[in-house]
Structure 1
Amino acid sequence: MRAHPGLAEIERARAAIAGRVRRTPARLSPRLAERLGVPVVLKHEHEQITGAFKLRGATNALANLSEDERARGVVTVSTGNHGRALAHAAREAGVRCVVAMSRLVPGNKRDAIAALGAEIAIHGASQDEAQEEVDRRVAEGGLVEIPPFDHPDVIAGQGTLGLEIVEDVPDLAQVLIPLSGGGLAAGVAAAVKAKRPHARIVGITMERGAAMHASLAAGRPVLVEEAPSLADSLGGGIGLANRHTFPMLRDLMDEVVLLTEDEITLGMAFCHVAEGVMVEGGGAVGPGAILAGKVRPIGPTVALLTGANVDPAQHARIVSDPEILERLA
């Protein structure tokens, strides 16, 4: 098994993806700073080329494939954003790409992936069931799997975001990271802890089907029942054979915060009303956690806005709801 990626691998990833991904802006949020009582900076990673941070890891993973592997093509399982990122990176590299998804993945995300030229395979009612299709494609078709999170090159690519954060906010005290399978949290944690050992790493996720939280509590990877959530990009299991993200987060993450669906909704609405940006539920959990009073005011805080791939009709309903707007006034 390859070793967990550290600072050296993350810095190599930064060189490998340079010019292929955006360095995204970091902007102060006066309203969140007022609410928390310390400076709050929002890292606008939803402005990434494919609308989410996942492009970093996918691009780095493809850059590390051999010529033989590139010729065979790649396959992955995704709740949407990783599939879109891999489809984009594969198209740029001229590599065949297959994306397996469960029926729970929103139609707008499926359509966006297909528009990038990837082949779509819908299988099952959970990410774990969709993974069965990936396994079949690898065994029968010889495709190379690039998983959405539990892969050293993917984690290292996501970790480049951590390097930017430390440069953006040198006196960083804590980072609020949307938490799902843990590729982003593990990569960012590895980079931040290497540069700022005393900074706190806080994972933010939904109450419904939080697989990494349940696994950390159990001391081993466990299965959870998936359920529909506004934070759909945070759904899915971590894999019972998880090799990297679980042990890395067990060692590097300081806290996990769980949000209700109502708190996720408020985070999305806040991003629109106060910050003027469209952010999906899973990408808005950092602001949601601050608004819910679930974040400690220990010093300069960075919250990652990680994805903009939300169904427009769903977003419009949320940001035009008078009751929600009244709570943000």
Structure 2
Amino acid sequence: MRLIEGNDVRAAQAKLTGITRVTPLEHSRVLGELCAAEVHLKCENLQRTGSFKLRGAYLRLLGLSEEQRAAGVVAASAGNHAQGVALAAQLLGIHATVYMPERVALPKLAATAGYGAEVVLRGAVLEESLAAAREHAERTGAEFIHPFDHPDIVAGQGTVGTEIMAQLPQARTVLVPTGGGGLVAGVAAAIKEEHPDVAVVAVQAEQAAAWPDSLTAGRPVRLREAQTMADGIAVAEPGALPYAHVEKQVDEVITVSEEQLSRAMLLCLERAKLVVEPAGVAAVAALLAHPDRFRGPIVSVLSGGNIDPLLLLQLVQHGMSSAGRYLSLRLRLPDRPGSLGGLVSLLGELEANVIDIAHSRVTGALSVGEVDVEISLETRGPEHRERVTTRLEAAGYALYERR
């Protein structure tokens, strides 16, 4: 199997000129202070279609013969690859059919259709959509566009690495969110040939981490289950070509937890003013988890920013909770005038900001003369959160649920 080389990536870069954006490399002061090193964010969330996927998809479709273009293309994706293929096909005048899971987020479905693709909802999970797309290719003769396991895909994604080294030649560590491996393989191919001293680190969600077992086994190994909020990197089995690159050129594969992902997303939103999806913040989550581990200057790739607004709301709350800044309580109060006012007054003294409050007299577990109160609070951090709960208990409030 021939690996992608620097010349392949440079050729891809020339073909993508005017099609993809040279995305910005933003300095992060807050991460720099945390890591005691210079840290930059490579903002592929600001790429056309909202992720790096257009790079590889356009190069792959550009390489099709006239006969293949006439037959059309087919792909399967829950979001980013779908949009990349859809826009690439629109730009090149090729008919694209994209299979998506039946419960795909509506904004991703609308965006894919908006780029001109024919969208077919099939299957409860992405694996079923992939099977349907392959069957479509066999039945119609359409070209199946794999999301990561093809030389053109890897070379196209590698242009992210070429841009990084042009923007920050002194970079010494590049962290890359990793699912099937197309992006990290391309970045490694672009960097390692001329800059072998630059560490390329693949970052996976620990609840969908196929790479550690695969590298131990010496071949791609399929996960039995992959359940993570980072659906963009929840890939059950690495690709063969990406595997060859990762095994030879990637310095390290590390994993991050769901809490670290949500905290990283909240940090990007609050401090960098960047909307990034859970998969896209994996590299930032690695810095939060291991601030002293990497040699600077450090570049963290933000691989995508396509996120359902409802999921964004849930993840912001999860991130605030993980950072000790969100507290949800359930407690019981005497059902008499002033009880709720007394609780709110004490919370005000404790400088806890009330976000939401629900007051009910009809919960089955209540005794006569009691009310159930569920209250959501914004706190300033873990110590403040603990102080709030301690003072409430000391004041006689029975807290029977907290999160």
TM-score relative to the length of structure 2: 0.77
1:190 corresponds to 2:227: no
- Note if contact 2:191-2:198 (Cα within 8 Å) is conserved in structure 1: yes
Deviations 1:90-121 (A, max 9, x none): 11111111112335643332232122221223
Q: Does 1:249 align with 2:246?
A: yes
**1:32 maps to what in 2?**
31
Mapped pair 1:121 → 2:103: no
Shift of residue 65, structure 1, vs aligned partner: 1.0
Pairing 1:157-168 to 2, within 5 Å after superposition: 157-168=156-167
Residues 209 and 126 from structure 1, CA distance in 2 versus in 1: closer, same or farther, beyond 3 angstroms?
A: farther
- Structure 1 counterpart of 2:368: none
Name the stretch that deviates more: 305-314 or 218-227.
218-227
Q: SS of the residue aligned with 2:180?
A: coil
Number of residue-to-residue matches in the alignment:
326
Would you say the 8 A contact 2:101–2:126 is kept in 1?
Answer: yes
User: Does residue 1:267 correspond to 2:284, yes or no?
Assistant: no
Letter in 2 for 1:304: V
Map of 1:43-122 to 2, 5 A cutoff?
43-103=42-102, 105-122=104-121
AA matched with 2:295: I
Structure 2 CA distance for partners of 1:269 and 1:179, relative to 1, 3 Å:
same
- Structure 2 regions of 5+ residues with no counterpart? 326-379, 385-403
Matched-pair contact (CA < 8 Å) for 1:128–1:236? no
Question: Comparing 319-328 with 72-81, which one deviates more in the overlay?
Answer: 319-328
By how many angstroms is 1:76 displaced?
1.4
Report the secondary structure of 2:175's partner residue: strand
Pick from 276, 279, 287 the counterpart of residue 273 of structure 2: 276
1:12 corresponds to: 11
Name whichever of 264-273 and 214-223 sits farther off. 214-223
Structure 1 counterpart of 2:253, one-letter code: V
* 1:137 equivalent in structure 2: 136
Work out the CA distance in 2 between the residues paired with 1:98 and 1:327: 48
1:60·1:153 contact (CA, 8 Å) conserved in 2? yes
**1:231 — aligned with what?**
230
Equivalent residue, structure 1, for 2:289: 292
**Helix, strand or coil at the partner of 2:191:** helix
The one-letter amino acid of 1:181's match is G
Contact 1:257 1:294 in 2 (8 A): no
Identity of aligned residues (%): 37
> Does 1 or 2 have the higher relative contact order (CA < 8 Å, sep 6+)?
1
**CA distance in structure 1 between the aligned counterparts of 2:69 and 2:285, rounded to whole angstroms:** 40
Secondary structure of the structure 2 residue equivalent to 1:176: strand
C-alpha distance 169-281 of structure 1, shift in aligned 2 (>3 A): same
Which residue in the other structure is 2:216 paired with? 217
1:313 equivalent in structure 2: 310
Verify the 8 A CA contact 2:226 2:236 in the aligned structure 1.
Answer: no
Q: SS state of the match for residue 176, structure 2?
A: strand
Give the whole-Å Cα distance in 2 for the aligned partners of 1:101 and 1:210. 22
Kindly report the root-mean-square deviation, in angstroms, between the aligned alpha carbons of the 2 structures: 2.0
User: Any idea what the Cα deviations from partners look like across 1:225-257, whole Å, max 9, x if unmatched?
Assistant: 344322110012236xx4311111111111111
Q: Which has the higher strand share?
A: 2
Q: C-alpha distance in 2, partners of 1:153/1:75?
A: 16
TM score, norm. by length of structure 1: 0.93
Q: 1:100 to 1:214 in 2, by over 3 A?
A: farther
**Aligned residues of 2:226 and 2:235 also touching (Cα < 8 A):** no
> 1:163 and 1:269 mapped to 2: Cα distance?
28
Moved more, 209-218 or 157-166: 209-218
Name the CA shift for 1:327/1:121 in 2 (closer, same or farther; >3 Å): farther
How far apart, CA to CA, are the structure 1 residues paired with 2:134 and 2:58?
22
Alpha-carbon contact 2:72-2:143 (below 8 Å) kept: yes
CA distance in 2, matches of 1:254, 1:190: 12
Q: Are the aligned partners of 2:199 and 2:250 in contact in 1 as well (CA < 8 Å)?
A: yes
Task: List per-residue Cα deviations over 1:246-300 (Å, max 9, x = no partner).
Answer: 1111111111111111110001000001101110000011111111226613221
Mapped contact 2:35–2:291 kept (Cα < 8 A): no
Is 1:301 aligned to residue 301 of structure 2? Answer: no
Counterpart code for 1:257? I
Give the drift of 1:127: 3.4
Over alpha carbons, which structure has the higher Rg?
2
Residue by residue over 1:40-59, the C-alpha shift from the partner in whole angstroms, topping out at 9 and shown as x without a partner, is 01111110010000011011
